[in-house]
Amino acid sequence: MRRMAFSVSDLERALALQPAVRRWVVAYSGGLDSTVLLHALVALKLPAAHYALHINHQLSPHSHDWQRHCAAFCARLNTPFCAATVQVERDGSGIEAAARRARYSMFERFLQPGDCLLQAHHLDDQAETLLLRLLRGSGPRGLAAIRAARELGRGRLYRPLLAVGREQLHAYARAQQLSWIDDESNLDTRFDRNYLRREVLPLLQRRWPDYRRRFQQAAALCAATDQLNRDTAAADLAALGPRAERLGASIDLHGLRAWPQPRRYNVLRYWFSQRQLPLPELVHLQQLQRQILDGGCNSSAQVAWGEVVLRCYGDRLFCLPRLPAKPVSAGLRWALRAPLALPAGGSLAAVPAAAGAGRLRLLEEVEVRHRGGGERCRPHDRNHSQTLKKLLQERRLEPWLRDRVPLIYVGAALAAVGDLWVCKDFTAPPGEPGLRLDWRFD
């Protein structure tokens, strides 16, 4: 059956699903899809203001011509037009991914509270995305493909055309005698999406004419499954007692080990996403299973991807950032008036404190070093000195921080160990002003 053309009333029904909007912002590239979306939005004559936002990626020799075309089209529609030029930073992840990051960063900067950014992704885009995610081995979250709506910066992103096919948009554009830009890069089948669009999907169309609707249904089912997984993971994460640590965060390892593998992986992915960290690939989860979950808690074991490191200590699983290598240095002079950035990561600050035990006496300048081995200290609340190694073990400082703890020296004498304790001879007497040390990783 031939589908009916897209109409303005279709867009009106889709936009009615959104809460109160102060300003509609159309992500307007000048291509067919966003041209139809912008034209239909203007035709609705909605009470809320509307804008067209064009992102110039500077990737095509025609990019400035496209920007002029978009400005002229908006002038004919009497629509406010904003253009933003971005620098696409290539980092090895592919030009499409880099352009997307630059584009969305600009969207977030542009949007204000109450704004709704409209994007023209449609039914064919949804089918292409589902296949790409499937080829990458994605799970339910990835196979949910393009989401209809989500928060974006201070505003909201909404895609009202996901149930509309490309042919329907073409029919609308022809009927309205619209002109649009054809990006020459869309013909380049070196890009995966273009290859699917030009080489693979026409074959599916001939065999299964309604494949787009079937893919949309599959994506909707995956989205529902993903939401159920996330709801379950949120409850599981709470049961594992997540807590912030001096560096990173941790959860109860004993409780995690008690669960079957799918439940473990589900809550771990949720934990990482809540911390806005890149998700691990299956190989990293398998390494975690083998090195930590199925064995003892060896503090030297670690699993890493990107800037994320997983380690265990004290029956807790720690999620940590990568730290710079600990430098070999003779020490840093520190006047204590301003925070000191530590070359091994983190910072050290001294805050005036008028009362309380364990304060450092007022000092003009100290030297900050790292452990070299053999250090001893008599904490302010002990009768005898002990080796620093033993003290750190008793304090249960995580092993990966023990060689990074800043040691504060006055001459050759150890005066304090991070913010863990002050040595007896350098403690501020009761009734006299002193300093509280603050060692942290922000």
Q: How confident is the model at residue 1 (pLDDT cuts 50, 70, 90)?
A: very low
What pTM does this model have? Answer: 0.75
In order, the DSSP letters of 53-102 are: EEEE---STTHHHHHHHHHHHHHHHT--EEEEE------SS-HHHHHHHH
Residue 2: per-residue pLDDT: 46
Summarize pLDDT for 250-272 with one digit per residue, the tens: 999 999 999 999 999 999 999 99
The bridge status of strand 155-158 relative to strand 115-118 is parallel
Residue 90: per-residue pLDDT: 75
Summarize pLDDT for 150-206 with one digit per residue, the tens: 999 999 999 999 999 999 999 999 999 999 998 888 888 888 888 999 999 999 999
Question: Where are the CATH 1.20.59.20 domain residues in the chain?
Answer: 240-321
Q: How confident is the model at residue 328 (pLDDT cuts 50, 70, 90)?
A: low
CATH 1.20.59.20 fits 240-321, yes or no: yes
In order, the DSSP letters of 123-182 are: HHHHHHHHHHHHHTT--HHHHT-S-SEEEETTEEEE-TTTTS-HHHHHHHHHHTT-----
Asked if pLDDT for residue 3 goes beyond 60, the answer is no
User: Within 10 Å of residue 168's Cβ, how many Cβ atoms?
Assistant: 21
Q: How confident is the model at residue 330 (pLDDT cuts 50, 70, 90)?
A: low
Residue 396: per-residue pLDDT: 93
Q: How many helices (H) and strands (E) does the chain have?
A: 15, 22
- Name the burial class of residue 430, with classes exposed (0-12), middle (13-18) and buried (19+) by CB atoms within 10 angstroms of its CB: exposed
Question: Where are the CATH 3.40.50.620 domain residues in the chain?
Answer: 8-222
Residue 109: per-residue pLDDT: 94
- Provide the mean pLDDT of the chain: 92
Amino acid identity of residue 2, one-letter, is R
Residue 4: per-residue pLDDT: 63
User: 367: helix, coil or strand?
Assistant: strand
In order, the DSSP letters of 112-136 are: -TTEEEE----HHHHHHHHHHHHHT
Helix, strand, coil shares, percent, the chain, to 5: 40, 20, 40
Q: Which residues are within 8 A (CB) of 10 and not within 5 positions of it... i.e. 6 or more apart?
A: 164
- Decide: 363 and 335 in contact? Cβ < 8 Å: no
Summarize pLDDT for 82-136 with one digit per residue, the tens: 999 998 887 766 788 888 999 999 999 999 999 999 999 999 999 999 999 999 8
Homologous superfamily of the 8-222 domain (CATH): HUPs (3.40.50.620)
Closest CA to 118 of 37, 20, 32: 37
What is the percentage of the chain residues whose pLDDT exceeds 90?
Answer: 76
What is the percentage of the chain residues whose pLDDT exceeds 70?
Answer: 98
Asked if pLDDT for residue 249 goes beyond 70, the answer is yes
* Lowest mean pLDDT, pick from 109-123, 138-152, 289-303, 337-351: 289-303
Summarize pLDDT for 16-57 with one digit per residue, the tens: 999 889 999 999 999 999 999 999 999 999 999 999 999 999
